[in-house]
Amino acid sequence: MKAYEILMDMAVIMVCAKFMGLLARKLKAPMVVGEIIAGVLIGPCLLNFVQPSEYLNMFAEIGVILIMFSAGLETNLTELKKSGLIALVIACVGVFVPLGCGTLLYIGFNGFDGIGSESFFKALMIGCIMTATSVGITVEALKEMGYLKGRVGQTILSAAIIDDIIGIVVLTFVLSMKDPSSKIGVVCLKVFGFLAASFILGFLIYKIFKVVDDKYPHTRRIPIIAVSLCFVLAYVAEEYFGIADITGAYIAGIILCNVRDAEYIDRKVSVNGYMFFAPLFFVGIGLKTSFSGIGAETILFSLAFVAVAMLSKLIGCGLASKCFKFKNIDCVKIGAGMMTRGEVALIITNKGLSLGVIDPSVSTAVILLIIVSSVVTPVFLKYLYSKSPDPVEESE
């Protein structure tokens, strides 16, 4: 492939992704759904304008790394410290209940071959996909109604942040077990070794970066060094610890999230993201989608997958909040707010696909989950708040 030949593909992808993304937003669906559909439209499945290629894959991978870095950067550690036990418990339950339910769902469809078997690993991956909350849609809905600053809203927000961190730790564990010969002890050692090393080194890096940042605020070198750090951590995670590169990128984001220029870095990373890399990832998912293998069982699995993913969050987080003396309806609000899924679920799916431990048909189920949860959640929340407005917000 000559270098210039990729230009046409990129142009088509960028324009279609933007157009379909805007269309999706108009229809109150998440923009990523529009971008995926753009990929299906222009891909081999339908119009065949663009074929998946190694180069597009490379761009998409960098897109994923940048998205995870950005997610880490946007973590509000100060907020997190304040949120305390309630959010922590809700987040834990919100990770482990869907993880368990997702695993059981896969076993229900495909049978159980014992812990440590390949099919058990596949089942765990399905569970992992279900763990990642994406509160973007919820936040928007709460903001619109003016309830974001209420107790329920703040609890959802804090729980979602912790949920992300726990989710990534769980994913890291599961992915480290991909090699069937790996012993659980070695896996634990690797994961804890990496986490410990990155938190100790991370603190050092944070201190050094802070000095550089304070000396040269808002200069180009700041985001360049930051992104390089993200790339290095992603590489080191994969190469030396056998841990997912996305974990490394996310941790790089957390290390730098308290730096004064964190928002500035995030903005620069986002420009690269939204123009080239991120659309190539989401469109790429669409490009690789194939309708050929879809039969009755796939449809049944997809529907069950969506139902289990949403109910496990709703019931898990709802019951967890009940322990902290929330009113019944407020427990439902918290559970409902945690139901939405987004980019991270797709990224985990993609990771599983590239490792060959997830069937291509799961993509369809995940896309369906994103669409359904993002449409249902805001409607459901509006209904709940109309029945019982948040008292904290009313007194303001």
CA dist 283 and 279 (Å) reads 6
- In the complex, least distance from residue 214 CB atom to a second copy, rounded to whole angstroms: 17
Q: Is 42 in the site for a second copy (CB under 8 A)?
A: no
Measured from the CB atom, is 341 or 351 closer to a second copy?
351
| The only residue of 32, 225, 287, 367 in contact with a second copy, by rule CB under 8 A | 225
Residue 4: CB minimum distance to a second copy, A: 4
Half-sphere exposure of 283 (CA within 13 A, CB side): 34
Nearest-CA neighbor of 359 among 276, 297, 306, 310? 297
Contact 220, 177 (CB under 8 A): no
Task: Report the number of secondary-structure helices (H) and strands (E) in the chain.
Answer: 17, 0
Contact code string over 281-320 relative to a second copy, x by CB under 8 A: ----------------------------------------
Rounded Cα gap, residues 281 and 273, in angstroms? 10
In angstroms, give the least distance from the CB of 384 to a second copy. 33
By beta-carbon proximity to a second copy, the closer residue of 109 and 276 is 276
Which of 272, 290, 298, 388 binds a second copy (CB under 8 A)? It is 272
Q: Does 245 engage in binding with a second copy (CB under 8 A)?
A: yes
Q: Is 65 in the site for a second copy (CB under 8 A)?
A: yes
Of 263, 197, 206, nearest to 229 by C-alpha is: 206
> Is residue 51 part of the contact set for a second copy (CB under 8 A)?
no
Nearer CB in complex with a second copy: 223/337? 223
Shortest approach of a second copy to residue 395 CB, angstroms?
38
5 binds a second copy, rule: CB under 8 A: yes
DSSP one-letter code for 274: I
3-state helix, strand, coil in the chain (%, to 5): 80, 0, 20
**One-letter amino acid for residue 95 of the chain:** V
| 220 scored as a contact of a second copy (CB under 8 A) | yes
Choose which of 51, 78, 117, 228 interacts with a second copy (CB under 8 A).
228
Residue 18, interface with a second copy (CB under 8 A)? yes
Give me the half-sphere count of Cα atoms (radius 13 Å) on the Cβ side of residue 47.
12
By CB atoms closer than 10 A (0-12, 13-18, 19+), residue 297 is exposed
Contact between residue 206 and residue 258 where contact means Cβ atoms under 8 Å apart:
yes
User: Based on CB atoms, which residue is closest to a second copy, 363 or 377?
Assistant: 363
Is the CB of 99 or the CB of 234 nearer to a second copy?
Answer: 234
* Min dist. Cβ of residue 228 to a second copy (A): 4
Establish if 117 lies at the interface with a second copy (CB under 8 A).
no
Q: Of 145 and 226, which CB lies nearer to a second copy in the complex structure?
A: 226
**Secondary structure of residue 11 in the 3-state scheme:** helix
Enter the tokens of residue 322: 């009940």
Span interacting with a second copy, options 129-137, 229-237, 340-348, 375-383, rule CB under 8 A? 229-237
Nearest in space to 363 (alpha carbons), one of 11, 32, 31, 27: 32
Asked if 211 touches a second copy (CB under 8 A), the answer is no
**To the nearest 10°, the Cα dihedral for 98, 100, 103, 105?**
-70
* Cβ nearer to a second copy, comparing 21 with 153: 21
Position 278 contacts a second copy (CB under 8 A): no
Q: Is 221 an interacting residue with respect to a second copy (CB under 8 A)?
A: yes
Which range of residues in 58-66, 173-181, 297-305, 366-374 is near a second copy by CB under 8 A?
Answer: 58-66
In the DSSP assignment, the letter for residue 334 is: H
Structure tokens at 162: 């912790």
Q: Does 23 sit near a second copy (CB under 8 A)?
A: no
Which of 157, 149, 212, 87 is closest to 396 using CA atoms? 149
Q: Which of 61, 163, 164, 330 binds a second copy (CB under 8 A)?
A: 61
Nearest 10 degrees: CA dihedral of 345, 347, 351, 354?
Answer: 110
For residues 173 and 281, which CB has a smaller minimum distance to a second copy in the complex? 281
Torsion angle in degrees (nearest 10) through CA of 245, 249, 251, 256: 160
Closest to a second copy by CB, 194 or 231: 231
Residues that bind a second copy (CB under 8 A): 2-8, 10-12, 14-15, 18, 22, 55, 57-58, 61-62, 65, 220-221, 223-225, 227-229, 231-232, 234-235, 238-239, 245, 268, 271-272, 274-276
